[in-house]
Amino acid sequence: MKLHYIAMRLVKTVLVAIAVVLLSFFLIRLAPGDVATVMAGQSGYADEAYMKSLRAEYGLDQPVPVQLWKYVSAVAHGDLGTSYVRSQPVLTIIMERLPNTLLLDAFALVVAAVGGIWLGGMAARRPGSAIDNATAVLAMFFYSVPQFWLGMMMMLVFAVWLGWLPPFGIETMGADYTGLARIGDVALHVLLPGTTLALYFMASYARLTRTAMIEVADQDFVKTARAKGIRERQVARRHILRNALIPLITFAGLQASILVGGNVLVENVFSWPGVGTLAYEAVASRDNPLLLGIFIVTAVLVSLFNLVTDIAYSIADPRVELGQ
């Protein structure tokens, strides 16, 4: 039965990907002008005949359904078009930057999960205590602060005033570290942008863990565990926390799309050479194919990540039998 659930989720992921491509096709038509006007503008001269030949070359003179079919099959083959500015395939440019973004996100998610679960666990143990109220206030604060501005303030304090951490980039320029020294250098650089990204999610994980733990603590199997004489610490860790963490898996999937938005802003503040900074560069240089390509790639990645978290959830929670 679980296989059935996983198969249904796979189908859903494919449908989302198709919907993303369809949406992209209509987004292209929103922009004023077409490829021909942009190319003609770059070449410096444009008479009617040249425009016409360009439109024929890109298939813009064909009926919309034909254009749509060509677009869909091109994207399905990994062809996301060519960057206006860099004259390179969009997918190549994105893939070059992707590992840096994944590194940043992995760091942020681990920090957020470890910190959030720890804080949430402390808060759940004594609802209404100082630490419980502190996590509530912090969550409210991080929901209300623009992420890019939080990053700038972190930079101002920890890089400019205190001078503890490097403010920009992924490694020290011109230092040419190798091996362990390089890993240490990158680790130092990931701290500020990674923590900035993590803080928002840490606050929500803490609140969620707290709620889930209080809810689970009320259930019969916990009472049974206590009645059997298991020590309170064991009950909290083995019985309550483990079960409370299950909804967190789904939550991580649902928040992945928010994480991508954070990438654009935070990477940009810290000049982190990832996909987020690339999106900003695409906006600044009016490179529409690149910007749209980033939307398609990140949307597909997020839906894949959702697929993984849903499968992980179905494995972690034996109650999931049939997909809805």
Partner 1 sequence: MTGFARRFFSRPTAALGFAVFAAIVLIALAAPLLFARGPFAIVGMPLLPPGSPGLPAGSDVLGRNMMIGLAYGARVSLLVGISATLCSTFVGILLGAVAGYYGGLVDDLLMRVTEFFQIIPAFVLLMVLVAFLQPSLTSAIIGIALITWPNVARVVRAEFLSLRNREFVEAARTLGMRDTRIILTQILPNALPPIVVVSSMMVGNAILAESALSFLGLGDPNLLSWGSMIGGARSAMWVAWWTTTLPGVSIMITVLALNFVGDGLNDALNPRRRR
Which residues contribute to the site for partner 1 (CB under 8 A)?
16, 19-20, 27-28, 30-32, 140-141, 143-149, 152-153, 155-156, 160, 254, 257-258, 260-261, 264-265, 268, 279-280, 283-284, 286, 288, 291-292, 294-295, 298-299, 302-303, 306
CB of 313 to partner 1, least distance (A): 15
We find the least distance from the C-beta atom of residue 295 to partner 1, in angstroms, to be 5
- Judged by beta carbon, residue 85 or residue 230, the one nearer partner 1 is 85
Which is closer to partner 1, CB of 243 or CB of 298?
A: 298
**Least separation, in Å, of the C-beta of 210 and partner 1?**
17
DSSP code of residue 103? H
Residue 125 CB, nearest approach to partner 1 (Å): 21
Which CB atom, from 147 or from 209, has the smaller least distance to partner 1? 147
Instruction: Please give the full DSSP string across 142-197, using - where no structure is assigned.
Output: HHHS-HHHHHHHHIIIIIIIS--S--SSSS-TTT---HHHHHHHHHHHHHHHHHHH
Residues 6 or more apart whose Cβ sits within 8 Å of residue 81: 74, 89, 90, 289, 292, 293
- The encoded tokens of residue 312 equal 């992980």
Query: What are 82's strand-pairing partners?
Result: 89
CB of 170 to partner 1, least distance (A): 19
Nearer to partner 1 among residue 240 and residue 251 (C-beta) = 251
Shortest gap between Cβ of 307 and partner 1 (angstroms)?
Answer: 10
270 within 8 A of 193, measured Cβ to Cβ: yes
DSSP state of 238: I
Closest CB to partner 1 among residues 31, 56:
31
Closest CB to partner 1 among residues 113, 307: 307
List CB contacts of 103: < 8 A, sequence separation 6 or more.
Answer: 186, 190
Using the 8-state DSSP alphabet, how is residue 165 labeled? Answer: S
CA 80, 302, 141: angle at the middle one, nearest 5?
125
The dihedral region occupied by 322, where left means phi > 0, alpha psi between -120 and 50, and beta the remainder, is beta
Name the minimum Å distance from CB 292 to partner 1: 6
What is the rounded distance in angstroms from the CA atom of residue 162 to the CA atom of residue 169? 18
Please give the structure tokens belonging to residue 20: 């993303």
67 vs 257, beta carbon nearer partner 1: 257
- Are the C-beta atoms of residues 259 and 251 closer than 8 Å to each other? no
Please state the closest distance from residue 182 (CB atom) to partner 1, in A. Answer: 27
List the structure tokens of 267.
Answer: 């990477």
| Cβ distance to partner 1 smaller for residue 141 or 164 | 141
Is residue 203 a contact partner of residue 142, using CB atoms and an 8 Å limit? yes
In angstroms, the CA 208 to CA 213 distance is 8
